[in-house]
Structure 1
Amino acid sequence: MGHRDVFGTVKVVVAILDWHELNGICYGFASPASALNFNGANSTCAGYNAVLLTVSDLEEHTFLTRFMDYDTDYWVDLELNAATGEYLWPDGTSPNSSLWYPNEPNFTGDRVRYTTSTGSATQHTHLLADIYSSRVRSYICQRNAVRIGETGIGKETPHVSASHYVQITNISTKSRLQCAKTCLQTFKCGLIGYLSSSSECLMLQWAANNASLSVDPGFRFHTIERDCSIS
């Protein structure tokens, strides 16, 4: 997005999103100053390798509302389906009925936003209400959390820390990076160990108790982490 200054030069304004993570999903909150119409918000999310917000359950809703600014509306990716007369998420499902404001939707728009500015005067939490897509509102983008192991190896951690993990499996891989990627794609790993002399890859998972993992001291251990800051 951009605007022209008094000399006619186009200045590009980059939206800075405030990212928060829940259950492997990153949610980026735009500030009120970055408000856009629906199409503009949708395009901006795409620029972050993300999509506009969809809400699957009440846990997610409760988490999201903690970071919303009061008196600020946020676009969500609900659209009025002309054939069914319902507002549907992109996968064709309906939102949880408890997420709507009382007397909403009232079918006065083709899209939907989270808002605190409609419904009961005593209602102070963000809930859903319909609106026309041409209106300008803030927005929330979402994408899968990038794990460090997809772009490199996570930070190296001392050998002794492996005592808090249990072994899932032990395989042979070409490199530490391949070990990390295999672990991410196949298992829920918290830690990998790699022994370069034998190409041995340990895949480890956090244990509540202090497990006793006995391995060659030549293993190098790396955490596998989610990171919402990586595009």
Structure 2
Amino acid sequence: MVATNKNLSEERDDLKKSVTSLGWKYFSGSLYTISSIKKNWQESRDDCLQKGADLVIINSQEEQDYITSFRKKVWIGLTDRETEGRWKWVDGTPLTTSYWYPGEPNGSSNSLDEDCAHISYSDARISWTDSHCSDNTEGWICEKRLA
């Protein structure tokens, strides 16, 4: 039994090294990759989907802390494009816990079409803002959940 556990631990460590060398990072049961370029929200999501992943869905304070530790402005998988004011994750689940910057989400002064969320601030507790989905000003984080 001890030898089996040792072998599994070694295999896990080797897999983590392989994944990291391909540009993915492992954290708490998911793989993440961070863009080095900027695209709009839909193009960012499309890139994730092509990689067999999706824009990151933040499920816990620990994951929020992990994502903000990169200190990058990035799109996350959160939108209210279907129904204004009803924020949902890309998998269709409703938003229950949030980390909005004070006053956010706020639409904008001349329209209410800031329908996509991104991380703008490094303070993990108040880092999300809403923005126009067509803005090409953000990078993004893809998440691939492991079974």
Q: Distance in 2 between matches of 1:130 and 1:106?
A: 7
- In the alignment, what sits opposite 2:60? 57
| Aligned pair partner of 1:47 in 41, 46, 50 | 50
Kindly indicate whether the alpha-carbon contact (under 8 Å) linking 1:24 and 1:144 is maintained by their aligned counterparts in 2. yes
Kindly indicate whether the alpha-carbon contact (under 8 Å) linking 1:30 and 1:139 is maintained by their aligned counterparts in 2. yes
Q: Which amino acid aligns with 1:129?
A: T
Matched, 1:114 2:119: yes
Matched, 1:142 2:146: no
Q: Distance in 2 between matches of 1:75 and 1:81?
A: 14
Q: Which amino acid aligns with 2:32?
A: Y
What do you get for the CA RMSD once the two structures are aligned?
Answer: 2.1
**TM-score, with normalisation over the residues of structure 2?**
0.70
| Aligned pair partner of 2:123 in 122, 125, 138 | 125
- In the alignment, what sits opposite 2:74? 74
| 92 and 21 in structure 1: CA distance in 2 versus 1, 3 angstrom threshold | same
SS at 2:24 equivalent? strand
Q: Which amino acid aligns with 1:46?
A: L
Q: Distance in 2 between matches of 1:67 and 1:140?
A: 10
Q: Which amino acid aligns with 2:144?
A: R
Larger helix proportion of the pair: 2
- Aligned residue-pair number: 117
Structure whose CA Rg is larger? 1
- Higher relative contact order by CA 8 Å / sep ≥ 6: 1 or 2? 2
Q: Distance in 2 between matches of 1:35 and 1:133?
A: 12
Q: Distance in 1 between matches of 2:23 and 2:101?
A: 26
SS at 2:94 equivalent? coil
Q: Which runs of 5+ in 1 are unaligned?
A: 1-16, 117-123, 146-184, 186-231
- In the alignment, what sits opposite 2:19? none
Kindly indicate whether the alpha-carbon contact (under 8 Å) linking 1:88 and 1:95 is maintained by their aligned counterparts in 2. no
Q: Distance in 2 between matches of 1:105 and 1:42?
A: 20
Q: Distance in 2 between matches of 1:83 and 1:37?
A: 20
Structure 2 matches for 1:55-204, cutoff 5 A? 55-69=58-72, 73-80=73-80, 83=83, 85-90=85-90, 91-97=92-98, 99-108=99-108, 109-116=114-121, 124-125=122-123, 127-136=127-136, 137-145=138-146
**TM-score, with normalisation over the residues of structure 1?**
0.46
SS at 2:62 equivalent? helix
Larger strand proportion of the pair: 1
Tell me by how many angstroms 1:83 deviates: 4.0
Kindly indicate whether the alpha-carbon contact (under 8 Å) linking 1:76 and 1:139 is maintained by their aligned counterparts in 2. yes
Q: Which amino acid aligns with 1:39?
A: Q
Tell me by how many angstroms 1:92 deviates: 2.8
Q: Which runs of 5+ in 2 are unaligned?
A: 1-21, 109-113
Tell me by how many angstroms 1:47 deviates: 1.6
